[in-house]
Structure 1
Amino acid sequence: MESLDSTDLALLDQLQQDAGLTNQELAARVHVSPPTCLRRVQRLVQAGFIERRVAILDRDKLVEVLGHGLDAIVEVTLDRQDNASMEAFEARVAADEAVQQCYRVSPGPDFVLVIRAPDMPGYLALAQRLFTQDANVRNVKAYFAVRRAKFDPRVPLPRPARA
């Protein structure tokens, strides 16, 4: 699959909003038959356009059970920026469960991480295992979120032109 038509884009858009839709509900929303819908979604999965389907949890509801937790955006600068050093650091942080997102960036720091820790002691343990023990980490700058104004994991897709 090399290109996406308007039906493919509509399917992807609907699935980004609610991946729990039944095939019949999804087909009705994009105005195709259920067999066509199923075949197209399977093709989108096989082609890699749909990486995985997940549930997005309501953090406000989980506070009662898990506590508030701590969100941090962390800038990391390495001493050595050769490809092997960058890939080694990236693989190590990407494998850590507390690291929700990892970006290699330029200019500025080498990496920006989005981290979720249960509390400050949890963050300090993470900092010790990911940053302090790594001799190649030169600088770490952490920003702690006090409020999340927006969270939207959807990829913006072009809207089909109306006739």
Structure 2
Amino acid sequence: MKSESTDEIDRRLLDALQHDASESNQSLAERIGISAPTCLRRIRRLREAGWIEREVAILRHDRVGALLTAVVELSLDRQDAASLDAFEQRVVQDDAVQQCYRVSPGPDFVLIVAMRDMAGYQALAQRLFTSDANVRNVKAFFSVKRAKFEPRVPLPGAN
């Protein structure tokens, strides 16, 4: 976050929205200490400037049937830009892939995937890894407990 593009009030608004984007504009304005119209204008400006990518509801995995979460490390045989881009484009389109990171050093990608059960993971592995001749090595780590899940990005000067 570029400090010259935002001030402390913007950062406090962004931080508050990361905790609960469904809070009413009036309530948010009161909490931040600004008027409701100013709050609305600032949020609109932050959204238009690209600071807010999107607003979503975070669902509980156990309520919707995604009971198995895995962290998957994988390496490709060919690491040229076109091969990395092609693999990335393919995996990010799969609904079971929640997060996709290109990493270095070590594996080429780390994925966070969620599915209903081991059969779901096996189907995912078949369509994304086994069927791709460029995938060299896959290591999956299955979650036995989620101790923390926080999509919030820490912001300096937001507290």
Normalising by structure 1, report the TM-score.
0.92
Map of 2:153 onto structure 1: 155
Please give the per-residue CA displacement for 1:65-98, whole angstroms capped at 9, x wherever unaligned: 63x6110000010000000000000010011000
Please give the per-residue CA displacement for 1:90-120, whole angstroms capped at 9, x wherever unaligned: 0100110000000000000000000001100
Are the counterparts in 1 of residues 11 and 155 from structure 2 also a CA contact under 8 Å? yes
Map of 1:146 onto structure 2: 144
Q: Please list, as runs of the form range in 1=range in 2, the aligned pairs for 1:14-163 lying within 5 A after superposition.
A: 14-60=16-62, 62=63, 66=65, 69-159=67-157
Q: CA deviation at 1:16?
A: 0.4
- Kindly report the root-mean-square deviation, in angstroms, between the aligned alpha carbons of the 2 structures: 1.5
* Identity rate, percent: 65
Aligned mates of 2:60, 2:98 — CA distance in 1: 16
4+ residue stretches of structure 1 with deviation over 4 A? none
Q: CA deviation at 1:124?
A: 0.2
In structure 1, give the amino acid aligned to 2:139: K
Q: CA deviation at 1:59?
A: 3.3
Aligned residues: 157
Aligned mates of 2:32, 2:17 — CA distance in 1: 11
Q: CA deviation at 1:160?
A: 5.3
Are the counterparts in 1 of residues 100 and 111 from structure 2 also a CA contact under 8 Å? yes
In structure 2, give the amino acid aligned to 1:72: A
* Stretches of structure 1 lacking an aligned partner (at least 5 in a row): none
For residue 50 of structure 1, give the secondary structure of its aligned residue in structure 2: coil
- Confirm or deny that 1:10 pairs with 2:27: no
* Stretches of structure 2 lacking an aligned partner (at least 5 in a row): none
In structure 2, give the amino acid aligned to 1:54: V
For residue 109 of structure 1, give the secondary structure of its aligned residue in structure 2: coil
Aligned mates of 2:39, 2:108 — CA distance in 1: 42
For residue 139 of structure 1, give the secondary structure of its aligned residue in structure 2: strand
Of structures 1 and 2, the one with the larger relative CO (CA 8 A, separation 6+) is 2
